[in-house]
Each structure stands twice: as structure tokens, then as C-alpha cells.
Amino acid sequence: MILCHIVVICCRYPSHDQLQIIYSTYLMPVLRQQLAGHSVWNNQSRVHALASSMIQLYDQIRSKFTVDQYSHYQFTPRDLTAWVVGLLRYNLAGGQRDSSPETVMMIWAHEAIRLFRDRLVGEETCTQFDNILVTIIRNDWSVNVIDTLASMYQVLFTLKLCTHTLLTALF
């Protein structure tokens, strides 16, 4: 009896072009709020390019890491939204002093690592993610945030390696 009153609606994920429009629209007020007079981020085409880089990373991650490998490798547009919202936690105006996009790109990359890389299992998959991220940043932005991020995450990797070595020696 109840089944005749239930309506099931199935929606597909937005297309690449639709994601581009959605996340360009989401990014614009986030960047304008904190970087109103910035020479790079006040330009709509640069914000559009940032959204394009986000979607490119998201698409590559979705194709490379699937739920067939691990059930928690479920990457959805919700992750892109969390990425944009995550940018609000930072003082992006720190990048206002210079005209390069480096400060925002470092924060952008850190959020990508936090949202995507932290879910990955094993060093090999993390390395694959790192290669995807580095390639996109170098190709799309030509900024040098990789060394700074590598030094930040090298500390974590070194601690992990030391702990693994210590545990192996003990047992």
C-alpha cells in the first residue's frame, strides 16, 4: 500500500561544463570577500581557471581511485563544495601583499590534500595523488608551491617512516 505513494527521482552528477559554472560561481564570492583588490584573484577568468583546475583534479581522482579499490573512495561534487568552503577557514588576504597567486594556491593545494589525499590508502596511491596535484599546479599555474608543501608534508612522512622503522626493529 505504501509503495504506491513513493516517488523515486534519480539525478546524475553534473557534467564537466556544469561543474565549471557551479564552482566558478561558488569561488567568486569566496575570493572577492577576502581578496577584493588583488590583481590576480579579482579577475573572473583567473577564478574560472581555478575552478577548472579543481574540476580537473576531481575528475582525475575519480577515474584513478574508485570504489572498486576501496569503498571509501567515493568522490562526489560534495567534495568540491567542501573544498570551496574549506577556503573560508583561511586568511586569504595574506596573499594580498604580493601579486602572485602563490599564497592562495598553497592553501588551495593544502585543502585538496586534506580532502582527497588523506582518504587514500598506502604510499603508492598517495604518490599517485601527489603526481596528479603537482602536474595540475605546474601546468595550470606555473607557481612554486610544491617545495613548500613537500616540506610541510615531509615532516609527517618522516615521522611515519621513523615509527614504521622503530616498530619493525622492535618486532
In the chain, what are the domains?
2-170 (1.20.920.30)
C-alpha span between 62 and 122 (Å, rounded): 17
* CA angle 22–28–32, rounded 5-degree value: 165
Interval 108-122: pLDDT, tens: 999 999 999 999 998
User: Do the Cβ atoms of 109 and 54 come closer than 8 Å?
Assistant: no
Instruction: Give the per-residue pLDDT at 112.
Output: 94
Interval 62-105: pLDDT, tens: 999 988 888 899 999 999 999 999 999 988 776 556 656 788 88
* CA angle 102–103–104, rounded 5-degree value: 95
Q: What is the pTM of this model?
A: 0.79
* CA angle 43–148–39, rounded 5-degree value: 15
Q: Is 64 exposed, middle or buried (0-12, 13-18, 19+ CB in 10 A)?
A: middle
